[in-house]
Structures are given as C-alpha cells and as structure tokens.
Structure 1
C-alpha cells in the first residue's frame, strides 16, 4: 500500500513538473520568445524547489522535461546558458508554507480554490505596430474599398473607410488592424456614433436567443426547482434517453449528471489544475458536439488556417536558408466539420475577471484572429457563403465562461459579438438558475456553428480553378489578419559567444 502511495506521489509530482514547464514554454511561444532553461529556472525557482525530489539530479531531471516541452511546442529553446543549480537547494532551505484546502464539512456552499501557483508570468504585452505593418494594414483596407465589398451605413459612411482611418492612428496592435470590429469596444464610441454602432450590432445580429426545441426546453426547466442532490438525482434517473435517437436530451442529462458527481465528491473543496477545469468542470462544452457533424477535439490541436496565415509569405529564398515553418495557433479545443475549422475553446485555470490580462488577450486579440483565419479559409473555397459563415470561441477562465461569435454580415469587416459572462454554480442550492443558462449558451453556440455547416453543405457555386495568384473579378474575400512582429527580450549572456550571436539574430520573429 505504501509503495502504491509512493508511486502515485511520484507520478503526481512529475505531472506538475511537466505542467510548469509547458506553461512557461507556451507563454514564450505566444510572445515569440525563445524558451530559455536558465530564465525558466530563475523565474520559477520557488515552484521548482517545491517540486524537485532531493534524491534526483535536478540539472538532468529538469533539462529532460524542458527539452521535451520545447520539442512538443516546435520552438527553438536556449540551453547553453550556465545555470547555478545550487539555487534549488538554497531555496529548499527556506520555510515552505503548505497550500491550505477548505474543509469539506463546512455547512456553507464551498468557495472553490485552485492551485496556489500563479500562471506563468509572461506578459501579454501590446505589440508596437511597425511602419511595415501599418503599410500592410493600409494596403488591405484600400484593396477592400477599391473592390466595392464594403458596408455602407444609413449615415452614408463606409465602415471599412472609418476603420482604416482609425486603425492607422493606433500605435499598438488592435483588432481593427485585421478588419475585425467589436461594436461593444468602448474605443469605438470615439469613432462611430451611437446610432451607427447600434446599426452595426443589430444587422443580422447574434443575440444568443435562438428558440430551443420544445422537448429540450421542458427537460431543462424540469430541474429548476431542485435544490438537493436527492431531488436532482430523482429527476435524472426518472428518464433515460438513447444517444442516437434523442441526442440533445441525452447530452443535457449527461451534463447534469456530471455536475452532480462534482457535488457528491466535494470537488470544489480542494485544489485543482487546468485540466480539471476543461475536463471535469466544463466537459459538456465539447461533448455538446459529440452527436453532430461537428468534431470537437481537445488536446492543443494545431490550427491549419492559422498556420496558413503565418506562412503565407514563405518562399524559397535566393540567398540564405529557408525560413522556419511557423506553427499555427493551438487552442485547447477545436471544432471542425470535414476539413473546415469552425470553433475553439481557450481555457485558463485562474479567473482574474473579464478584464484580467489573459482573458482580455484571448477574447480581444488571439481568439478573434483565429476565428477570422477560420472564416477566411472557408470563404476562400466558398466565397458565395461569406456572409453566412459564423465561427465561435468558448473563453473559459476558471469557473467563468463566455462565448464570442465572429461573422462577416456585410461588406468585408468581421464582427465580434460576445455573450454575457456565466459563473459555474458551486452548490446544489444555487445550481439550476445558473446552470440552465450555461447549457443554453453552449447549445445555442452549437446552433450557430451548425448554421455554417448547413451553408457549406448547401453551397452549389462552382469556382473554377485558374492561374495561381490571378485576381477574381466576380468574388472577393476579406484579407487575412495581419501577422505582427515583436522584439524578444535580450537573452542572458551565453557561455559561448557564437551561440550568443545566433540568439541575437533571432530577436525579431513573427507572431
């Protein structure tokens, strides 16, 4: 028994070590920095000391894990810097405070806790727009305006023209640089009138208010007045549904049953990790698509559309080596229909509020650009359904979730609509007034993506193949998102000068 406990503890420690490294490498990749083993050790020294087994060789142990994480992320790591591994032993001598957990015997609804180690401290800093990037933005807008595929408002103003004038005056990257417009963004109050913003938001609006099928609505609301585990379980086990015959009702029943399991095991009384957030708290998000034509797969799936954008200017050079192939964005979950990418989820362990750095970055820049990559990829093959395409992202921060839907309702600008933020209920007493709207939101988001599937299946337009690069007079597709560049912070001095020179030459990388 003691041996099993020892093996479990060792496995748990190794898993947390891997997670610590993966988060650091992922953060460096998002900011276009080369992951440095020395920087990682210095930055995460406290947590490394907590996780390191004193019987192991820390240099060998952490180097192996770090190399594997860098290899999996397909980035180039920095290993040649001299590291003082004795720092770990010194740190271990300092007093360690245990991570408290709340008591499961508390009579009050529990307050969920998460592991005390904060997310890797890489900054989601704004990217300064270079002259070349602004020239690309201007060129993209001018091509759109010249094509005539624009959105003219009742006031007579052209949305794309207004956004071009506005975006060219911005010093840091903003969605407007990629022809992405969020009508609720407070910055646009200085650009459009209130009436114009209402017109933009209301045209073929995304309201998350589609009418649910009668049987779905009735079954969901049959749980509304249940406030005890026994009462909820009675309703669950009163009815069973066949997944192939009644997929929606089966999904609802299964989702509620899994929530009850969390309550029964007092899940929210203890610490948990990011995988728990995705696979234990919010599993019904990706399971919502299980019995549809849309495939939802988790596990950091690479986006082909995002990769295509990052590499669209990659060619064989006349002089020097070929530039490295850029890996596309890797969301936590990706929804696809056939070879078309439709949606994603982005999951974070910590919740710092909707204006926290990570959620603000994910919902304002990263996810919208990915969703536009999906939309333009579909429209490039099927331009006739441009204004019918919808892509979506689930933004999950701990126990809160919201959804953003991106579409191109008119002209060439892509519009982002965000749902209200939902909080996961932590106790049966308050469960269903919160859980029902969450399940409705997931279901309605699925309906939007199924609208896109229907548009793809119903498209009968034939686009003849011609010479590569030839402009098509009859169709027009919005230009891709811009790919900005950012300087990486200077690396620490290398023990080998030639290696240092190689690193300094790689300070500018594509995002």
Structure 2
C-alpha cells in the first residue's frame, strides 16, 4: 500500500514538490475503498490524511489542499459499503475487515501444516482443517487468523460437537499447582464471615511473618489489609469515577505485589511487549528496491510479566465490569490478549524448541470487579495454539463475601505466578544438545509463527 501511495505522489508532484490532495485521493480512490475496514468514515478519512502526510514528509513532498474535495465521491462509495454490510457488522465495528491478500496469506499458513503435524481428535476430526474452514468463510479478523483455538468461543459450536470441544479443552492440560498445605491453612484462616472491614484489618495486622522467608504469607496478610480498608467507612464498596489506574492500585494491587520477590518482574504502566513488536516487524529488512518499512511498536499492556527480556505473561485491565457479550471483553479478552500471549509463546519456543509442547504463557484479564486467568499452550503439533480460561472470579462487594470471593482470587493469582515460574524453569532447561533434537522438534521450531499481522500494520 505504501508503494502505491508513493507511486501516485511521484506521478502528481509538481516542480515545487507539492502534491495536490484532490488529485491524490482521486488517483487512489480504488485503493482507499479496498482498504475500508468498517470504522466510522470520518475516522477512516483522518487516518488516510495522516498516512498520506507522513509518507509525503518521508519522501520530501508537501500535500496541498484546496476547496475541491475529491473525498466526497469516495465517501459515497464507503457509505454504500456500510449499507451493504450485514446488520451484525454494527456489533463488530471495531473488528478489522480482511483484504483478499491478507486472507490468502493466512490460508497459506494453514496449507503449510503437514498432515503428521495436525491435531486429530478421537472422532477423526482434524482441528486445523476446521479452523481453515472458518478462515475461508470469514470476512473480519478473528483469533483463528492467528492460528489460535479458543474452545470457549461460541463460533466453534458450528464446527465441533460438544464432546470434541471438551476433548480440545482437556487434551494434555497441565494442572495448576496446588497451594502448599501450610500456605493453604494460612489462607483458610481468613475464611470467616467478617462483619466489618475493621474487624478483618485488626485480625490481619496481628499476623506476623518473617520478611522474604515467608513472602507468600506476608503477601496474603497485606492483601487482606488492603481489601479491609476498602470497607472501613460504611462496609460498602464505592467505585464512583474510578479510572483503570484506580482499580489496579486500590482494588487489584495484590496482582502485581505478589511479584515483589523479584523472581519475576511485574512491570506496570502501558508497557510495550517485545514479542508483539517482533511480530509486527517480522517482515522488516534492509532496503533493496524500496525504502525500509517504518518500525512498528509492540502492543501496550497494563502489566507485563518478564524475566530479563523474556516475557511470560501480561494483564489487561478494563474500568467497567462487562459481560462476555460486550465489545470491551471481545476486543481485549478474545483478540488482543490471546494474540499477545501467542507472540510471547512464539518467542519462548524459538529459544527452547524442545519444550514446544510444555511451554505456556499466562494472561490475567480484569474487567471492573471480575478477573479470569488465561493460559496459552501448544497441546499438539507445532502450529496451533490453544487458549484455556478459568471461570470469572468476582471481587467481593462487602466484608461478608471476602471468605467466599476474595480467597479464590488470591488462590488463582498465586497459581498464575507459579505457572509463570514453571515456564521460567522450562526455558532454562537446555540439557538436551541441539544434535540430540529430533527432526520433528527442529521442524516445530520453524513452523510456529507469530500472530496474524495486518497488511496495514506492515506499511
């Protein structure tokens, strides 16, 4: 796309290195319409203006506007495109509409999977073949384009039976660690019907533990004191005018404080993922016959869990409590977070390919007062990644609910950390020499690819 824009500018530029905007949009009309992805027309127009301006600056040109606006003709065509779309597209307005080239690129990935590397279910159904069938009939971006299987996505009910979906969920699943007996006993001591936040706070403050040596017990104690303070005024939870940052630091701080022993770092504040950055720049190379592509930035995540430069998981936070049918949940929980976890997993597998079916990445999805744990792994073969989800855990709304609601949240947070630590150890397990790796293992390392990157992200 960048090449087409530059070619048009070269054709239209005058001696003063000025490119007239009306003539440019007229010349690129078909390209512009072909790239329309369903977003609001005004935003789409603004995106194109900024893109054209940046390309013009990079090539030493200047775009000149006039009273004549050729965009009006383009806008009419885009409105026709909007009206011809199905009514369901209004509910997926944030989704990206795939071009023919992008769809072809994804299908090429599926065609490259060798038969012996595919996932055959007990019924004889081949998972990769069903996923390819969804790609062939889809128009908008979906996790399947990143070769992600999410058995909880209701779309798969049209492609698999209930028994097959259960097999996909349960096959080769590594159980999460159980809390050590002493730590479980400590956590259970808080399983009471607290009548006030002050009562819980007093109890927790009376528990004394040795720093560092009893880190997990101290973390539980501090978490209990933190939640008790939310109910100290009138035993009610007040969230009026809370931002995402407020939610993280006042309701959910235990999610990152459990990493303060520094075995894994919990990096806060809209962090860019290295793994996603590598995925978006996978096709970036030295110049040959065209200018080098601009480097794309990795996805921003709310918490990034890493050791050194290796990323083992991330956390996404939304301000409002939403259902699985809301756009915010679909965009972050079904698309962004799984794609981020796949890119992280791909980076880990490339470092230690013999652990391809053992490594996993961990995601925490917080939406207002709800949290769920996501795990991404490669259960079979080397091309398809699978997402496993826990049920949603709800933050307690009163002191009475702390025993039933908050204790399970602390348990799943501890288990998420332990799962990451297991992957840290797996990554270090390089005892098998390269010469001892089987041919299949070597192939697996080359087959696993980063998540789908839109052609528009490559320009």
TM-score range, shorter chain: 0.7 to 0.9
Q: How does 1:257-406 map to 2 (within 5 A)?
A: 257-264=225-232, 268=238, 270-291=240-261, 293-406=263-376
- In the alignment, the residues of structure 2 paired with residue 472 and residue 411 of structure 1 have an alpha-carbon distance, to the nearest angstrom, of 12
Displacement of 1:198 in angstroms is 1.4
> In the alignment, does 2:194 pair up with 1:223?
no
How far, CA to CA, are the matches of 2:200 and 2:398 in structure 1? 12
* Partner of residue 74, structure 2: none
Find the aligned partners of 1:203 and 1:311 in 2 and give their Cα distance.
33
Counterpart residue number, 1:164: 132
1:124 touches 1:361 (CA, 8 Å); kept in 2?
Answer: no
C-alpha deviations, 1:229-268, integer Å up to 9, x for none?
3431232123211231011111111111111122225662
Superposed displacement of residue 319, structure 1: 4.3
Task: Indicate the residue corresponding to 2:417 in structure 1.
Answer: 446
Helix, strand or coil: the match of 1:291? coil
TM-score (norm. length: structure 1): 0.67
Greater shift, 135-144 or 265-274, is seen at 265-274
8 Å CA contact 1:351–1:397 kept in 2: the answer is yes
Mapping for residues 36-115 of structure 1, pairs under 5 Å: none
- Taking structure 2 as the reference length, what is the TM-score of the superposition? 0.74
Q: Which residue of 2 aligns with 1:126?
A: 95
CA contact (8 A) 1:484 1:510 kept: yes
Going from structure 1 to structure 2, the CA distance change for 1:32 and 1:170 (only over 3 Å counts) comes to closer
What displacement does 1:283 show? 0.6
- Structure 1: stretches of 5+ with no match in the other structure: 1-30, 41-79, 82-122, 465-470, 486-507
Distance 1:259 1:339 in 2: 33
Task: Output the CA distance in 1 between the equivalents of 2:444 and 2:243.
Answer: 51
Report the more deviating stretch, 177-186 or 327-336.
177-186
Partner of 1:428: 399
Tell me, yes or no, if structure 1 residue 418 matches structure 2 residue 392. Answer: no
Shift of 1:385: 0.6
TM-aligned CA deviation for residue 405 of structure 1:
1.0
What residue in structure 2 maps to residue 154 of structure 1?
122
The answer as to whether partners of 2:351 and 2:427 remain within 8 angstroms in 1 is: no
- Alignment check: 8 A CA contact 1:285 1:442 kept: yes
CA distance in 2, matches of 1:39, 1:240: 59
Secondary structure of residue in 2 paired with 1:328? coil
Match of 2:163 among 191, 195, 206: 195
Partner of 1:58: none
- Structure 2 equivalent of residue 140 of structure 1: 109
Residues 509, 409 of structure 1: CA spacing in aligned structure 2 closer, same or farther, 3 A cutoff? closer
CA contact (8 A) 2:362 2:420 kept: yes
Deviation at 1:338, TM superposition (A): 2.6
The answer for unaligned runs of 5 or more in structure 2 is 1-37, 48-63, 66-91, 436-440
* Post-superposition offset of 1:205: 2.5
Secondary structure at 2:364's aligned position in 1? strand
Which whole-Å CA distance do the structure 2 matches of 1:352 and 1:159 have between them? 31
Separation in structure 1 between the aligned mates of residue 341 and residue 398 of structure 2, nearest angstrom: 34
SS of the aligned residue for 2:292 comes to coil
How far off its partner does 1:453 sit?
1.2
The match for 1:113 is none
1:456 is aligned, of 399, 415, 427, to: 427
CA distance in 1, matches of 2:166, 2:444: 31
Higher relative contact order (CA closer than 8 Å, sequence separation 6+): 1
On the 8 A contact 1:390/1:451 being kept in 2, the answer is no
Provide, for residues 74-131 of structure 1, a one-character-per-residue CA deviation record: whole Å limited to 9, x for no partner: xxxxxx99xxxxxxxxxxxxxxxxxxxxxxxxxxxxxxxxxxxxxxxxx861212222
Seen in structure 2, the aligned counterparts of structure 1 residues 32 and 337 have a Cα distance that, compared at 3 Å, is farther
Q: Which residue of 1 aligns with 2:8?
A: none
Q: Count matched residues.
A: 374
**Change in 2 beyond 3 A, CA 1:269/1:375:** closer
For residues 408 and 380 of structure 1, the distance between their equivalents in structure 2, rounded to whole angstroms, comes to 13
**Match of residue 214 from structure 1:** 181
Deviation at 1:32, TM superposition (A): 10
